[in-house]
Amino acid sequence: MLKRSAILCAALLATLPGALLAAPITTAPQRAPFVSTLPVEHTLPPFFDQLEKRTFEFFWDTTNPANGLAPDHYPGPSFSSIAAVGFALTAYPIGVERGWVTRQQAAQRVLTTLKFFDDAPQGKAAAGDTGYKGFYYHFLDMRTGRRWPHIELSSIDTALLMAGVLFDQSYFDRGTPIEKQIRSLANQLYRRVDWTWMQADPPLISMGWTPQSGFLKYNYEGYDEAMILYIEALGSPTHAVQPDAWNAWTATYPKFWGDYYGREQLSFAPLFGSQYSESWIDFRGIQDAFMRGKGIDYFINSRREAESQRDYAIANPGHWTGYGKDLWGLTACDGPGNITYTDAQGVTRTFAGYAARGAGIKHTFDDGTIAPTAALGSIAFAPRIVIPMVEAMQAKYGKYIYGRYGYVDAFNPSFHDSNAVVNSGTVVPGVGWVDSERLGIDQGPILLMLENYRSGFVWRVMRKNPYIRRGLQRAGFSGGWLDGKPAT
């Protein structure tokens, strides 16, 4: 059975069984003045240097060098995730800046990738094509690059792919032939995406389309990971959606706004909801109409989400093993499998395989599975709680969950059914279930956010991109770096 990607998490949350949903726990809000900082170089303990390098090497080593396609999961046979390709395209310049690969090596890998997507067949056939109308199928065959069977043409996955494309367009700014070609191809790929065609129910943008059934049932409505989708669609010079698309996107925000563990916030239960867009876009000090009304920005909002998840783990309403200030972090990730068993204390526990785990105002789904990407992808927002948590997690579980390419996707200290047939990984006596896989869409936020915390590199490059700037401005963002006045 195909693994569901985290980027369809919004739809998954809407269909979770009632038994898996819990009412939020709230206390009185703790308001703080609106302060946004632009940190420069941050020093991290040496372990984080190694972690960042190993996570970079996941993308460098596992991507198909013949076409630039990055695997959805590794090791083992895998299809490619186009969202993972977007993270990989951003990873390569990070490797250049850190001295792990040369600029020429990175440029060649990027050029190979962009050429593949530029040349790949676009059409309405059920098989044999890579995309249609400038969009691409969510999963592609790693070798041929053609549509993986029964997979949708994905709007958000295409947006995450284009985030990497636009990043490279801005990073490779030299006058060499290869960098000129990168910029030209990046421009061509982005301009080809027909965002207005994906508006089956305008002004909202559909989640996707298939040749067999047409547009998917659901549209993207806020608040979730699709901010970057709307910003790219608004910034297009060829097929731009109208500004009312952002208004329609934010119209549902009040349903996600409230007090959660003492912090007023827009709340999306899995932490990837804020991490994906903010891996590329620097929201510090810039505000749209909604955030101006609340007196914060999306960066501060994401900090509050992370802090509230930490406090949820401290409260530990589900009584899961190990939860607390030194172990927290829920997002879409692998899990042991759809298994129910009775633990040593006589408590019947229900677990899931790949699922949209999270804790927030609207939904909570928690089966004791921790994803390292959940906390590490928030390091730029909340370093004071993320760094000590990662150090404690590494000290206790690192022997089992950390390896050649950094952290495995997930682990569950509450799962000890050694007789169960798990989806992946294994059950380690005295430790719990430990995954054997790494997912590209979960490795990506770890790498990009570590670098953003260290230096702001990805944000700094993306701030130069004219299409991203235009998209933000058409969405109504102003202030901070958009107005040439970064907060200090």
Q: Would the pLDDT of 235 be above 70?
A: yes
For the segment 281-293, the average pLDDT, to the nearest whole number, is 97
Domain that holds residue 77: 6-25+38-483
Q: Would the pLDDT of 454 be above 90?
A: yes
For residue 345, what pLDDT is reported? 86
For the segment 469-482, the average pLDDT, to the nearest whole number, is 97
> Distance between CA 264 and CA 305 in Å, rounded?
9
Q: Would the pLDDT of 78 be above 90?
A: yes
Per the structure, the count of domains in the chain is 1
For residue 40, what pLDDT is reported? 57
Q: Is residue 257 part of a domain?
A: yes
Q: Would the pLDDT of 277 be above 60?
A: yes
Q: Is residue 30 part of a domain?
A: no
Q: Would the pLDDT of 263 be above 80?
A: yes
For the segment 409-425, the average pLDDT, to the nearest whole number, is 97
Sequence-ordered list of residues with C-beta below 8 angstroms from that of 451, at least 6 positions apart, any chain: 52, 94, 97, 457, 458
User: Of the candidates 297, 287, 280, which has an alpha carbon nearest to the alpha carbon of residue 459?
Assistant: 280
Q: Would the pLDDT of 37 be above 70?
A: no
> Distance between CA 130 and CA 142 in Å, rounded?
11
For residue 42, what pLDDT is reported? 84
For the segment 440-469, the average pLDDT, to the nearest whole number, is 98
> Distance between CA 156 and CA 154 in Å, rounded?
6
| Model confidence pLDDT, tens digit, residues 109-133 | 999 999 999 999 999 999 999 999 9
For residue 488, what pLDDT is reported? 47
Q: Is residue 77 part of a domain?
A: yes
Q: Would the pLDDT of 27 be above 60?
A: no
| Model confidence pLDDT, tens digit, residues 89-110 | 999 999 999 999 999 999 999 9
Q: Would the pLDDT of 284 be above 50?
A: yes
User: Of the candidates 170, 262, 147, which has an alpha carbon nearest to the alpha carbon of residue 468?
Assistant: 170
For residue 344, what pLDDT is reported? 84
Q: Would the pLDDT of 24 be above 70?
A: no
Cβ contacts of 254-259, under 8 Å, gap ≥ 24:
255/362, 256/222, 256/223, 256/360, 256/361, 256/362, 257/294, 257/361, 258/24, 258/26, 258/361, 259/26, 259/27, 259/28, 259/29
Q: Would the pLDDT of 13 be above 60?
A: no
166 band by pLDDT with thresholds 50, 70 and 90:
very high
For residue 31, what pLDDT is reported? 42
> Distance between CA 463 and CA 314 in Å, rounded?
37
Q: Is residue 32 part of a domain?
A: no
Q: Would the pLDDT of 406 be above 60?
A: yes
pTM of the predicted model, to two decimals?
0.93
For residue 486, what pLDDT is reported? 66
Percentage above 70 pLDDT, the chain: 91
Of 17-31, 57-71, 262-276, 334-348, which gets the smallest average pLDDT? Answer: 17-31
Q: Is residue 299 part of a domain?
A: yes
For residue 485, what pLDDT is reported? 80
Beta bridge partners of 122: 131
For the segment 448-469, the average pLDDT, to the nearest whole number, is 97
For residue 17, what pLDDT is reported? 31
Q: Greater confidence, 7 or 448? A: 448
Q: Is residue 387 part of a domain?
A: yes
Handedness of CA 90, 370, 277, 437 (dihedral sign): positive
Q: Is residue 31 part of a domain?
A: no
35 band by pLDDT with thresholds 50, 70 and 90:
very low
List the structure tokens of 288: 């749209």
Q: Is residue 488 part of a domain?
A: no
Q: Would the pLDDT of 331 be above 70?
A: yes
Q: Greater confidence, 192 or 40? A: 192
> Distance between CA 78 and CA 70 in Å, rounded?
9
Percentage above 90 pLDDT, the chain: 90
CATH of the domain at 280: 1.50.10.140
